[in-house]
Chain A
């Protein structure tokens, strides 16, 4: 077997491999003999078909088959011989498939980049320090109450934030227009779900009132024939309802799974949850910045095949996330959307793998256990969840991968200088990009 390697560009390699003629021919012959025993051809008893006939009939296809098989095997052999590490599937192109001549083929593929880790020594990151304050807890409880709020009819003039139940019909130049009519419609004043100005004019109305609301459709309205037109809406107010937040009582606490202990226990529970979330967020932040540093210190080239594969994964995730439905073909999403993210993920994957290899990390049993238990905490019966995890090998493997990642982060953390930075609960909980954007915004403002 003759092998020659060419580097076409960056990570792309081109292998030209030659397989000796005898090897191919004997393989073809033995394959033909096998087919001769099995084929049925009219005019011959099974198994009695002479070689010559079989060859004339199946020779070409058998040769092709054997050739592709040999190419695959020899490709693997050649790769090991040349100590290459291909990423993705190679494209194999035969040059000549003729009897009596050596089989020559070209394989083009990409190799994994050689990753030489640069130490993170001297780099520094910030670790957010935050505590859950009483105010934070109160705020969250308030938030929860708002989620459970209900509307109750009141006998007073409507104010902003109130909900009114209205019948309305719109007229332009004295004529009713399409889509301008509604009955028993619940409208929250100040929610800006109607045309600007509409809701404001309803402030102060009472149940039973009738009022003509005069508004002008905005220039950029989705219905073109209405855009920019002045309209009059005849509105009848059926009822005015005010927001009612649920009382902080047993009933309310039970909804959130706190059955005993009243408000104190509820607060405790909320605080516990918040603290868990906070810890998670801090951990994620640290991890993110560590990985960012890692990436910044080790710019590596990545094989296109891997990036493409990652793009597909991301596409599928996006489809799932946005509920496009079963029939939606993920390939419809433009690849450019995900290209950067995919590249980053591939780079990180390679780097992390290298860290794992170079510091000989293994998923630590205790870390795994801790992770599983942490996950289980969020469920009603933690022990059962833990048991479930340990029974399912796939799940466990996922957790192990996560544990390994954590260990990688820890290993890297040791090389880094960590400075603590005081932050409020809210700042930490805010997703990073948004925080960045907010910062950018501030800079622009300044």
Chain B
């Protein structure tokens, strides 16, 4: 994977209650990733950019909600989410990151 791609894969941390609990319990972090990102790509990007050792990656697509308005039915944008298990002893501090 080339260097340019590394910077395009990760879109930002996904901070929610669920992600916080998983982080506490299983040392996992959640990321929003590019729609076409693959597990190996994500693994490599996280390892390079955040300087941690990645154990495994699980990905899923979150569908946007359908919203009904006067003008008919619309759909919000969905995104691709990745749960990343970190190797034991690894940690990420998202201070100030969104």
Contact = CB atoms under 8 A, between A and B. Distances in A.
SS of B interface (majority):
loop
B93 interface: yes
B29 to A, nearest CB: 12
Contact of A56 (B17, B19, B94): B94
B93 A56 contact: yes
Nearest to A48: B17
A50 B24 CA distance: 10
Contacts of A41: 15
B20 A52 contact: yes
Interface in A36-75: 41-45, 48, 50, 52-53, 56-57, 59
B17 A44 contact: yes
A83 B14 CA distance: 55
B20 A56 contact: no
15 contacts: A41-B15, A43-B14, A43-B15, A43-B16, A43-B17, A44-B16, A45-B17, A48-B17, A50-B24, A56-B93, A56-B95, A56-B96, A57-B95, A57-B96, A59-B95
Interface in B1-54: 14-17, 19-20, 24
Given A43-B17, A43-B19, A56-B95, 15 more contacts: A42-B15, A43-B15, A44-B16, A44-B17, A44-B20, A45-B17, A48-B17, A50-B24, A52-B20, A53-B20, A56-B93, A56-B94, A57-B95, A57-B96, A59-B95
Contacts of B95: 56-57, 59
Contacts of A52: 20, 24
A44 B15 CA distance: 8
Interface residues of A, number: 12
3 tightest A-B contacts by CB?
A43-B16, A56-B95, A50-B20
B19 to A, nearest CB: 7
A421 B29 CA distance: 95
B69 to A, nearest CB: 23
A56 B17 CA distance: 15
Contacts of B24: 50, 52
Nearest to A43: B16
A45 B17 CA distance: 8
A47 to B, nearest CB: 11
B56 to A, nearest CB: 23
A59 B24 CA distance: 19
Nearest to B15: A43
Interface of B: 14-17, 19-20, 24, 93-96
Interface string A243-276: 0000000000000000000000000000000000
Contacts of A44: 15-17, 20
Contacts of A45: 17
Contacts of A57: 95-96
Q: Looking at B17, B24, B95, which has the most chain A CB atoms within 10 Å of its CB?
A: B17
A50 B96 CA distance: 15
A41 B14 CA distance: 12
Contacts of B96: 56-57
Contacts of A53: 15, 20
A412 to B, nearest CB: 65
Nearest to B17: A44
Contacts of B14: 43
A43 B94 CA distance: 15
Contacts of B20: 44, 50, 52-53
Interface in A280-320: none
Contacts of A50: 17, 20, 24
B90 to A, nearest CB: 16
A59 B93 CA distance: 13
Contacts of B15: 41-44, 53
Contacts of B16: 43-44
Nearest to A52: B20
B84 to A, nearest CB: 17
Contacts of B93: 56
A256 to B, nearest CB: 78
A2 B31 CA distance: 48
A162 to B, nearest CB: 87
B81 to A, nearest CB: 12
B53 to A, nearest CB: 21
Contacts of B17: 43-45, 48, 50
